Every structure is written in structure tokens, then in C-alpha cells.
Amino acid sequence: MKLVSKCKLINGSEKVFGEGPLELMIQIDKIGSISRAAKQLGISYSKAHKIIKNSEQNLGFKLLDKKTGGKNGGGSSLTERASDFISDYVNCTREIRDCTEIISEKYLGKYFK
């Protein structure tokens, strides 16, 4: 048994960024398309767009560079700042989880040997 922490950024009571938006950004980065990333994650394009818009508004910076369709189709890619943010977010949450394991072992480990 172990204690698990779940990290998310909030602004007031509004969720800004967490596991869902992170996974969406990772898929967009891999696939290069909001609609195909949304499909991969089993969410609608409109929900994906709302997640992106909400995160951008609350974070105060653009997450995606978008190219509209055309002969070769459109696409989306992470902005440099978004890429840096995601890397830092992943590292931060990983460190929080590591600390959670250490602290839970310190206080609760004796109960679950």
C-alpha cells in the first residue's frame, strides 16, 4: 500500500493544468494535430480546444503554434515556452511524488510493512 499525490495547478477554484492537459500536450507534440490527439485520447476536438484555451488564458502564454489547413493539411506544435513549461512541470510533479513516498514512509510505513 502507498500514499499517492495528484498534482494540478489551480487558479482560485479553476483547474488550470494537470494530468489531462499534460497528456493532451504530449500527444499533440507527438502527433502534430489537435484533432488527432483528441481522438487518440478519446475526447472531442471541442473539449481539447477548451482545455488548451483555458490553460493558455490562465497560464498567460501560448501553448501551441497552429498552422491552418491547406494542400498538405494543418497542424499544431508546442511553442518553445510550452515545451519548457511541460518539461519543468513533469520534473516538478516527479519530485513531489518522490517526496510523497519518502514522507509517507516516514509517518505511515510502520503500518504497512
The tens digit of pLDDT for each residue in 13-26 reads: 999 999 999 999 99
| Residue 72: pLDDT band with limits 50, 70, 90 | low
Terminal Cα distance for the chain, rounded: 9
Spatial distance between the Cα atoms of 27 and 45, rounded to a whole number of angstroms: 13
pLDDT band at 44 (very low <50, low <70, confident <90, very high): very high
What pLDDT, on a 0 to 100 scale, did the predictor assign at position 71?
63
Residue 89's domain spans which residues? 17-111
- Sign, CA torsion 35/39/41/44: positive
Q: Is residue 7 part of a domain?
A: no
Burial 21-35 (b: 16+ CB within 10 A, else e): bbebbebbbebbbbe
| Residue 73 in this model has a pLDDT that exceeds 80 | no
Q: Which residues, 6+ apart, have CB-to-CB distance to 99 below 8 Å?
A: none
Q: How many domains does the chain have?
A: 1
Residue at 84 is within a domain: yes
- Percent of the chain past pLDDT 70, that is, above it, reads 96
Q: Is residue 57 situated within a structural domain? A: yes
102: domain CATH number?
1.10.10.10
Q: Which residue has the higher pLDDT, 1 or 107?
A: 107
Determine the pLDDT at residue 25. Answer: 98
Q: Across residues 1-24, what is the average pLDDT?
A: 93
